[in-house]
Amino acid sequence: MEKNSDRWWRNEVGYIVYPEAFKDGNGDGIGDLKGLISKLDYLKDLGVGMLWICPIFASPMEDNGYDVSDYYAINPRFGSLEDLKLLLSEAHERNIRILLDLVLNHTSKEHPWFQKALADPSSEERSYYIFRKGKMVGDKLLPPTNWGSFFTPSCWEKVEGSDEFYFHAFGSGMPDVDWSNPKVRELYAEIADFYIKLGVDGFRLDAVAHLAKDLSFTDSDLYDEDGDGFVLDPSKFSNRPELFHYLEEFREKALKGRSVLLIGEVGGSVQPYEGKALADRLSGPLDLLFNFDTVWNNGNFGSIGKKDEEIVTDVMQLKHNFTRWYDACHNSCDMPLYWCNHDHPRLLAQYGSRIYRKESAKALALTLLFLYGTPFLYQGEELAMDNLIEGSIEDFAADVGTADSITSYRKAGYSDEQILSFLRRAARMNARTPLSWDSSPYGGFSEVKPLLPYTKDYLAGYNAKVEHDDPYSVLNFYRSAIALRKNTYYNNLVQNSQLEWIDWNHQDVISYLHRGYTTIMVITNMRPYQVYFTFNFQIADVLLHNYDGVLLSNHVLTLRPFESYLLVVK
Ligand code: GLC
Ligand code: CA
């Protein structure tokens, strides 16, 4: 298998664009490709060199574009193929690479393949999906297995007027395609080839862990905690051995040796040794692999019923998760880094602090940027945008994953008040609010009222215009931090030296260094209060710092709330 030799992403910082919420270019209240093109200079100034753009293909938008109804057409709300071509050429002119988000695991139920499959059980398209007969228990027709889905209790949806069901790992409007069918694999290789010919630089492969299923379709024997008859059992359709071969074939047939970046989104409890095989520099079918392990290290995931005060960053768990992936992978793989994306709340609300807003946003930026790997930030992080803290249940239910969970929580007896406080803390819609560009109405996102619910961040001074003009803003801190990270000298140090953790057992501080001709060190207080840190080095230079002055005496650093340093030390 031929792999990219230059591995350009090792010198880059990526940026995740959620197009619907990035910038409206045609005044209909919805973000689009024209809007994105109009802000490429902003992204260039920020210093990012590649964009992962969440799906832009034709879609009924049941799951915001992750439900594709035509892979060869651009969703008209985002623009046209011509707009995509323009985006590619304008971005490339600015040395920004473009990665499309390609959904290989499922289509929309409105995709013509699925429509044909439903209409004609003897059609070839029927074999692109997974249909199975239900189980008769007494006089009741039950789904073929007790497997749960990520969004709904069962991963089987009954086909009306028949005793068959179709499989969906996510929403019921998103039937999984059957990757054990060679024809399906061929069709997806052709789709990728089409966009490579158009000039895209890579793909983020969505939900790729789930391509291979346990085709024996036997019940899971995991314990059914909520007693609804279904259990989410990752072993049935996540990270199964066949996945490697499917991706290997995809790489070969779609890329045909061309230098195109493949990043897999691999959740489903993937272990570092599995990730390592998939992203191996020489033999892995992918180049980079997003795992989920450092996203929810604060008890926020599924935290319905908890109070806000109970959500506290587990700094040890974070360090442990960064390290176990680093240790397993860095010798043989390149790795991506990220805090959060469009599937999570805002970073500020996850690991940061509303009280120490600027300090925490800067601290989190610095801490991630100088770890081994290719950092990706999610739109709005660079502005310290916040969650949708005034959102209503309806606002949050605009996301299908959340709508399904609201139904389950109500069934389980939670009050709407409990559900709402949970959603304002943890739901995906928190990160899908329009980006705030300036202080004008709707934050300069659109001339008309945005279709998506929006935050008041733009009025509180957290917008691109105000932050551009303020030398101490979060935006300008990001610009400096990214520029330093991309500096060839420091980037080499980060990518090619050993990462060494300092005072590993400190419960509040993340600190690490990279030793080379120069040694650079990061020290971050992850708490909204003051802590102490033993410091046995000599400071040769302070490269980045989010406070004034250094509080150091007798080898003890006093770290103020979310104080963070990038130092050159001896
Ligand atoms: C990925 C996407 C998420 C989507 C899911 C199903 O996890 O990031 O937004 O809902 O796949 O496609
Ligand atoms: Ca628009």
Asked if residue 362 is part of any domain, the answer here is yes
The answer on 511 and 474 residing in a single domain is: no
- Ligand number with the minimum distance to the CA of 83: 2
How many angstroms separate the alpha carbon of residue 533 from the centre of ligand 1? 40
At residue 4, the pLDDT reads 66
* Mean pLDDT for the stretch of residues 85-111: 98
In a domain, 471, yes or no: yes
In a domain, residue 228? The reply is no
Q: Say which ligand is closest to the CA of 175.
A: 1
Q: Whose CA is nearest to atom 8 of ligand 1?
A: 343
Assess if residue 204 is contained within a domain.
yes
* 460 plus 501 within the same structural domain: no
Tens of pLDDT, residues 315-340: 999 999 999 999 999 999 999 999 99
> Ligand 1 centroid vs 420 CA: distance in angstroms?
22
Question: What was the pLDDT predicted at 376?
Answer: 98
Give the ligand whose atoms come closest to the C-alpha of residue 268. Answer: 1
Q: Is residue 399 part of a domain?
A: no
Q: Is the pLDDT of residue 1 over 80?
A: no
Summarize pLDDT for 458-477 with one digit per residue, the tens: 999 999 999 999 999 999 99
Residues 243 and 269 in one domain: yes
Instruction: Give the domain range for residue 472.
Output: 8-106+182-215+234-384+434-479
DSSP string over 348-372: HHHTS-STTHHHHHHHHHHHHHTSS
- Both 462 and 563 in one domain: the answer is no
Q: What separation in angstroms does the CA of 428 have from each of 388, 422, 431?
A: 10, 11, 6
> What's the CA-to-centroid distance between 207 and ligand 1, angstroms?
6
CA angle (485, 19, 369) in 5-degree steps:
15
CA angle, residues 492, 496, 497, in degrees to nearest 5: 110
- Rounded Cα distance, 100 and 98, in Å: 7
Catalytic entry in 176, 201, 206, 274: 206
Domain assignment of residue 38, yes or no = yes
- The residue type of 332 is S
Are 525 and 557 members of one domain?
yes
Average pLDDT on 215-244 reads 94
Q: What is the DSSP string of 207-230?
A: TGGGSS--TT-PPP-S--TT-SS-
Instruction: Note whether residue 175 is domain-resident.
Output: no
- For 163, half-sphere exposure in the C-beta direction (CA atoms, 13 angstrom radius) is 9
Nearest to 512, CA basis, from 361, 378, 366, 357 = 366
* Confidence at residue 226, expressed as pLDDT on a 0 to 100 scale: 85
Q: What is the pLDDT of residues 81-90, one digit of tens each?
A: 999 999 999 9
Which of 32, 125, 265, 334 is an active site residue? 265
Whether residues 564 and 445 share a domain: the answer is no
Using pLDDT thresholds of 50, 70 and 90, give the confidence band for residue 176. very high
Residues within a 6 A CB radius of ligand 1 = 63, 66, 103, 170, 206-207, 265, 342-343, 401
Q: For the chain, give the percent of residues with pLDDT over 90.
A: 97
**Stretch 50-74: mean pLDDT, rounded?**
98
pLDDT at 2 over 70: no
Residues 463 and 503 in one domain: no
Q: In this predicted structure, what is the pLDDT of residue 155?
A: 98
Number of domains in the chain: 2
- 445 C-alpha to center of ligand 2: Å? 10
Say how many Å lie between the CA of residue 63 and the centre of ligand 1. 8
| Least distant ligand from the CA of 451 | 2
Residues 509 and 560 in one domain: yes
Q: Note whether residue 419 is domain-resident.
A: no
Residues 318 and 461 occupy one common structural domain: yes
DSSP string, 358-418: HHHHHHHHHHHHTSSSEEEEETTGGGT----TT--HHHHHTSHHHHHHHHHHHHTT--HHH
What is the CA(193)–ligand 1 centre distance, in A?
Answer: 22
Distance 61 CA to ligand 2 centre (A): 15
Calpha distance 238→250 (Å, rounded):
18
Specify the residue with its C-alpha closest to ligand 1, atom 7.
207
User: Looking at residues 535-546, what average pLDDT do you find?
Assistant: 98
pLDDT digits (tens, 9 = 90+) for 179-226: 999 999 999 999 999 999 999 999 999 999 999 999 999 999 999 988
Across residues 148-165, what is the average pLDDT?
96
Work out the average pLDDT over 539-553: 98
Q: Which atom of ligand 1 is nearest to the CA of 151?
A: 10
Question: Residue 457: which of 392, 546, 387 has the closest Cα?
Answer: 387
Residue 4 vs residue 208, higher pLDDT: 208
Residues 205 and 251 in one domain: yes
Q: Which atom of ligand 1 is nearest to the CA of 171?
A: 6
CB under 5 Å of ion ligand 2: residues: 24, 26, 28, 30, 32
CATH for 557? 2.60.40.1180
pLDDT for the residue 3 = 78
Look at ligand 1, atom 11, and give the residue with the nearest C-alpha.
207
What's the whole-number mean pLDDT along residues 22-32?
98
pLDDT of residue 140: 95
Q: Rounded to an integer, what distance in angstroms lies between the CA atom of residue 126 and that of residue 118? A: 7
Using the 3D structure, point to which of 412, 444, 479 is the last residue of a domain: 479
- Looking from the CA of residue 400, the nearest atom of ligand 1 is 10
Same domain, 356 and 267: yes
Distance between CA atoms of residues 345 and 342, nearest Å: 8
| Ligand 1 atom having least distance to the Cα of 67 | 12
Query: What b/e readout covers 90-127, taking b as 16+ CB neighbours within 10 angstroms?
Result: bbeeeebbbbbbbbbbbbbbbbebbeebbeeeeeebbb
Instruction: Note whether 549 and 470 are same-domain residues.
Output: no
Q: pLDDT tens digit string along 481-498?
A: 999 999 999 999 999 999
Query: Does the annotation count 206 as an active-site position?
Result: yes
Whose CA is closest to atom 12 on ligand 1? 66
**Which tens digit of pLDDT belongs to each residue from 394-433?**
999 999 989 989 999 999 999 999 999 999 999 999 999 9
Which residue lies with its CA nearest to atom 4 of ligand 1? 66
Question: What pLDDT score was predicted for residue 132?
Answer: 98
* CATH number, domain with residue 356: 3.20.20.80
Q: What is the mean pLDDT of the chain?
A: 97
What confidence tier does 5 reach under pLDDT thresholds 50, 70, 90? confident
How far apart, in whole angstroms, are the C-alpha atoms of residue 8 and residue 374? 10
